[in-house]
Amino acid sequence: MADEPNKLRAEIRARQAEDGKKAMAEYEASAAATRAKTEKLKALRLAKEAAEAAAPKPPAKSKAKAGAKSTTKKKKAAPEGKLSDWLEDQTNSGRGT
């Protein structure tokens, strides 16, 4: 009778060990797949960067010469109407209540 609990414990430990081996195998397979995917993506990125570096760059747009500065300055568009008109409109539409 004393052997039955020991047998149960041994069976439980054996199942746990087997489950642990399966889990470790899955973990290692996942890690290997991740490393392979990372290496593939790195190779693709490096190839793309090399192709971009080898491709001729379009000519840059030339800016106006420093001596020929434009005297016109762009102004921000002023909003139409006055603040007081807007506030009055808001009050009349029921916003002030």
Domain that includes residue 34, residue range = 1-53
Per-residue pLDDT at 8: 94
Per-residue pLDDT at 7: 93
Residue 91 lies in a domain: no
Per-residue pLDDT at 95: 73
Per-residue pLDDT at 80: 79
Residue 65 lies in a domain: no
For the stretch 48-65, pLDDT in tens is 999 998 887 777 777 656
Average pLDDT taken over every residue of the chain: 85
The answer on pLDDT for 66 being more than 60 is no
Q: For the chain, what is the domain count?
A: 1
Residue 67 lies in a domain: no
For the stretch 11-38, pLDDT in tens is 999 999 999 999 999 999 999 999 999 9
Average pLDDT over every residue of 74-88: 79
Tokens of 64: 């106006």
Per-residue pLDDT at 65: 61
Residue 38 lies in a domain: yes
Q: Which residues of 35-54 are buried (b: 16+ CB within 10 A; e: fewer)?
A: eeeeeeeeeeeeeeeeeeee
Residue 85 lies in a domain: no
Residue 17 lies in a domain: yes
Say if residues 97 and 91 touch (Cβ distance below 8 Å): no
